[in-house]
Amino acid sequence: MKKIAVALVLCLIVAGGLFAQSFTVDLSKLPAVRNPEPIDSPYGLFKVNFPDGTFPADLDWRAFNRIRVVYQYFRANGAEIRQGNNNAMVVFAYDPEGDLAGPPQGPGPNTPIKIFNVGGANGSTRPSGEDGAPISIARAPGCILLQRQGPDSPVRFIELKEITFFRQ
């Protein structure tokens, strides 16, 4: 009986692995992963365009339903800031020259992914956590905005550490 249970568990793990897939962006392909100058305005940002070849041409973007974005952030003097709420946010845009703000509280036509509290929590969701945050995206994004989150945020420098898209 034990052998059957172990075999069943192994089959479920293998089957789950076939359906749960992810794509992690190779950050070495990006022109920059950290802003060179301090972000001083309350919702100031650092835009990083995704160059050709960042994403495979055959990705089925509509199948991705979660994303994990991991930042490291710093004060103006270079001291690292502990992960938490109200420090930084992330926005992905299809067209890097289009509307980068989108609606105030969520995704828009050019900004399919807008996540507050990177490094903190959005209700029960942790955008930097193992499970990431829920998303809906139709095609490859053209850029990512590393963004300070409001006037009370001590963040002046943001370093992108990971972007992983998940589908199940």
Task: Count structural domains, the chain.
Answer: 1
Is 94 among the domain residues?
yes
- Whether the CA torsion 115, 160, 68, 29 is positive or negative: it is positive
Is 6 among the domain residues?
no
* Domain hosting residue 94, numbered range: 23-167
> Quick one: pLDDT at residue 13?
40
Model pLDDT for residues 53-97, shown as the tens digit of each residue = 999 999 999 999 999 999 999 999 999 999 989 999 999 999 999
Report for 14-18, 103-107, 128-132, 140-144: range of highest mean pLDDT: 140-144
pTM: 0.85
Is 2 among the domain residues?
no
Is 31 among the domain residues?
yes
> Quick one: pLDDT at residue 121?
85
Residue 93's CB: how many other CB atoms inside 10 A?
26
Is 18 among the domain residues?
no
Is 63 among the domain residues?
yes
Q: What percent of the chain has pLDDT over 70?
A: 88
